[in-house]
């Protein structure tokens, strides 16, 4: 593991592969960590890529530099963190690949700073930038049921529950969101250590309250959030990966999933796969990245 000051964080990250290779930044979601990319990064390094895999704010050894910095989990903060990391590592542009929170960070940078992005891999919902202005509009009952954990965290009882039972809470989400993925106990416990970060609960709770307009954001990111509220298009080459058995993302067809993309984009639905795409099917995720490196939109096999 390496560490580097980047923006408001001291980011802990893994850096593997040839320093001169094309850079791929792999971004985990909630409630996961960098282990989601163990097998993906192995395949990409074998194909000649340099892989940067950071712990997001609130996870693992990543820490806030200033104890007074708000523990925000808002989308603007996640995007700003990623941009700060690219700047700190002197990476002019990279392929960004992620899912859940990590996919959101990647989409934010791709939309607002496309010159820094050679390509984007984003898992469903694809265009992963929140429309906070419309967050209060009720969805279908089935969709609302899937989002129970978000509403739970809107109250102080939920905050206390996450703080007291963070491992059991997160393991339940793994099971619900990836019902066909039979992960080993050690797979979960290796990742669950990342939830012991002292800022984990505060960042998670803020994230799920801010996206519904229930709490204010960090003023430091207000300008970014204003730009995101305009729903900026993503113009960089992109691949969307969708787990057909994802237990949290609403089902959608290609025409809906590709809204918000104005550049070259293709979508692949992965049968038998849930929410944690890179850890469940690392070869498919790595191939999506390599297809962007080929530049022709077709899959490119990584070495086993």
Separation between Cα atoms, residue 243 and residue 49, nearest integer Å: 25
283 within a domain of the structure (yes/no): yes
Q: Examine residue 244 and state whether it is found in any structural domain, yes or no.
A: yes
- What pLDDT, on a 0 to 100 scale, did the predictor assign at position 115? 98
Q: Note whether residue 12 is domain-resident.
A: yes
Q: Is residue 80's pLDDT more than 80?
A: yes
Res 90 pLDDT > 90? yes
Residue whose entry in the numeric block shows the structure tokens 């089902």: 251
User: Could you tell me the pLDDT band of residue 300, with boundaries at 50, 70 and 90?
Assistant: very low
Confidence band for 296, pLDDT divided at 50, 70 and 90: low
Note down the domain range covering 98: 2-294
pLDDT at 171 over 50: yes
Residue 302 lies in a domain: no
The answer to whether 9 touches 62, Cβ cutoff 8 Å, is yes
- Mean pLDDT across the chain: 95
Tell whether 32 is covered by a domain: yes
Say how many domains are in the chain: 1
Rounded average pLDDT over 190-195: 98
Backbone angles phi, psi at 209, to 5 degrees: -95, -40
Confidence of residue 295 (pLDDT cuts 50, 70, 90): confident
- Tokens 């960590």 correspond to 33
β-pairing, 265-270 with 63-64? Answer: unpaired
Read off the pTM. Answer: 0.95
Q: How far apart are CA 149 and CA 236, in angstroms?
A: 32
| The pLDDT value given to residue 255 | 87
CATH of the domain at 150: 3.40.50.1820
3 state SS for the chain = CEEEEECCEEEEEEEECCCCCCEEEEECCCCCCHHHHHHHHHHHHHCCCEEEEECCCCCCCCEECCCCCCCCCCHHHHHHHHHHHHHHCCCCCEEEEECCHHHHHHHHHHHHCHHHEEEEEEECCCCCCCCHHHCCCCCCHHHHHHCHHHHHCCCHHHHHHHHHCHHHHHHHHHHHHCCCCCCCHHHHHHHHHHHHCCCHHHHHHHHHHHCCCCCCCCHHHHHHHHHHCCCCCECCCEEEEEECCCCCCCCCCHHHHCCCECCCEEEEEECCCCCCHHHHCHHHHHHHHHHHHHCCCCCCCCCC
Torsion from C-alpha of 199, 201, 202, 205, nearest 10 degrees: 150
**Residue 301 included in any domain:** no
Query: Cα(290)–Cα(281) distance, rounded to whole angstroms?
Result: 15
**Residue 40 domain flag:** yes
Query: CB–CB of 55/194 below 8 Å?
Result: yes
Residue 299 lies inside a defined structural domain of this protein: no
The predicted pLDDT at position 252 comes to 83
């Amino acid at each position: 593991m390496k560490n580097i000051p980047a923006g408001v964080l001291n980011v802990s990250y893994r850096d593997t592969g040839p320093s001169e290779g094309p850079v791929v930044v792999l971004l985990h979601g909630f409630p996961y960590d960098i282990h989601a990319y163990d097998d993906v990064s192995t395949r990409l390094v074998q194909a000649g890529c340099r892989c940067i895999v950071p712990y997001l704010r609130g996870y693992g050894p990543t820490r806030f530099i200033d104890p007074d910095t708000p523990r925000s989990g808002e989308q603007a903060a996640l995007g700003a963190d990623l941009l700060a990391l690219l700047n700190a590592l002197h990476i002019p542009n990279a392929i960004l690949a992620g899912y859940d929170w990590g996919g959101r960070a990647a989409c934010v940078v791709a939309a607002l700073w496309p010159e820094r992005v050679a390509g984007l891999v984003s898992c469903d919902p694809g265009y992963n930038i929140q429309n906070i202005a419309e967050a209060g509009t009720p969805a279908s009952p089935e969709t609302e049921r899937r989002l129970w954990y978000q509403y739970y965290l809107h109250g102080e009882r939920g905050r206390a529950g996450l703080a007291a039972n963070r491992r059991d809470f997160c393991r339940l989400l793994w099971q619900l969101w990836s019902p066909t993925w039979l992960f080993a106990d050690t797979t979960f416990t290796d990742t669950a250590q990342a939830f012991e970060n002292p800022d984990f609960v505060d960042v998670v709770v803020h994230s799920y309250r801010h996206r519904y307009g229930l709490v204010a954001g960090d003023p430091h990111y207000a300008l970014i959030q204003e730009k995101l509220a305009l729903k900026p298009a993503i113009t960089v080459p992109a691949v969307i990966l969708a787990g057909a058995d994802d237990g949290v993302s609403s089902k959608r067809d290609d025409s809906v999933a590709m809204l918000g993309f104005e550049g070259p984009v293709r979508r692949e639905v992965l049968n038998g796969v849930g929410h944690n795409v890179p850890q469940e099917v690392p070869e498919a995720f790595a191939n999506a990245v390599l297809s962007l490196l080929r530049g022709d939109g077709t899959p490119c096999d990584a070495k086993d």
